[in-house]
Amino acid sequence: MAKYQDEGTFIQKTWALGHWRARKVTVKAGAGKLDEATVLGKIDADGKYIKSLKAATDGSQTPDAILAAAVDATGVDVEAIVFIAGEFDQQALILGAGHTLGSVDAVFRTKSIWLVKPMG
């Protein structure tokens, strides 16, 4: 008989608005400590994720996902949940060097990631 397993408590992100989609990825060792809402890019050679920096040349310069929860990938690869679609509060995002909301938004719109400024 199947048993339920407690996998922790889900805490709604106030910056993840409405409906969203997420998946599990690997954050590359050496990426350091990354806070939730960090914009990540995927390295072409190994498919692992790091903070997206505009000047990178390994594929990670292209924003690909938003980190759902803080991780510490200082010394080892870490599995993490990232948002790959949905609406997000643009003011909460953590952008890598060289990126602007405009540059990130232009790429994210092609991936069904919508950056909005919540009313209120």
Q: What is the mean pLDDT of residues 57-62?
A: 97
In this model, does residue 1 exceed pLDDT 90? no
pLDDT attached to residue 107: 96
Q: How far apart are CA 3 and CA 67, in angstroms?
A: 30
In this model, does residue 102 exceed pLDDT 60? yes
Q: Which DSSP letter does residue 38 get? A: B
In this model, does residue 108 exceed pLDDT 60? yes
Three-state DSSP state, 73: strand
pLDDT class for 77, splitting at 50, 70, 90? very high
Q: Which residues of 39-55 are buried (b: 16+ CB within 10 A; e: fewer)?
A: bbbbbeeeebbbbbbbe
| Segment 5-59, tens digit of pLDDT | 555 555 567 888 888 999 999 999 999 999 999 999 999 999 999 999 999 999 9
Structural domains of the chain, with CATH: 19-115 (2.40.300.10)
pLDDT attached to residue 18: 80
In this model, does residue 80 exceed pLDDT 70? yes
pLDDT class for 120, splitting at 50, 70, 90? low
Strand partners, 41: 50, 63
On average, the pLDDT of the chain sits at 90
Q: How far apart are CA 16 and CA 118, in angstroms?
A: 11
Evaluate whether 25 touches 79 at the Cβ level (below 8 Å): yes
| Beta pairing class for 78-89 and 113-116 | parallel
Residue with tokens 């994210």, as numbered in its chain: 108
pLDDT class for 83, splitting at 50, 70, 90? very high
Dihedral angle over CA of 99, 114, 111, 28, nearest 10: 50
